Amino acid sequence: MELSLWMLLSLGVSVLLLLLLLSRATKRSSKSRGQRLPPGPTPLPVVGNLFELGDKPHRSLARLAKVYSPIMTLRLGQVNTVFVSSPEMARQILQENDAVLSSRWIPESVRVLAFNEASMV
């Protein structure tokens, strides 16, 4: 009985150390890229801010926009995502940065679903 308690305790400490190392690695890697991103909630090591979205993401995003700002950064898994909740700000961003946004990376899953932009028409 005592052996299993020590095993559980050591397993718990190991998991906590692993999470600590992962969180430091993600903070270090995001700082080393030199990205100046808008404010947002602190992400968890592997899943990011996925749990903060809940079952009604639109309401969660509206609540987070009130806390942080109309433009905020959430980490969805391992991907930093910038959310803009103000219509005026979105219009300005899309008009001034249209060239940058039009050449963004398209995920492979979207290419497959769009049949690599091939059509019978």
pTM (predicted TM-score): 0.57
Range of the domain at 2: 1-35
Distance of alpha carbon 93 from alpha carbon 70, whole angstroms:
13
Is residue 28 domain-shared with residue 17, that is, in the same domain? yes
> How far is it between the farthest Cα atoms of the chain?
72
Question: Please, are residues 37 and 80 in contact by the beta-carbon 8 Å criterion?
Answer: yes
Task: Write out pLDDT tens, residues 35-91.
Answer: 788 999 999 888 889 999 989 999 999 999 999 999 999 998 888 899 999 999 999
Q: What is the residue whose two structure tokens read 């959310």? A: 83
**Domains identified in the chain, total number:** 2
Is residue 62 domain-shared with residue 116, that is, in the same domain? yes
Is residue 42 domain-shared with residue 98, that is, in the same domain? yes
Amino acid present at 102: S
Q: What is the pLDDT of residue 72?
A: 94
Is residue 110 domain-shared with residue 62, that is, in the same domain? yes
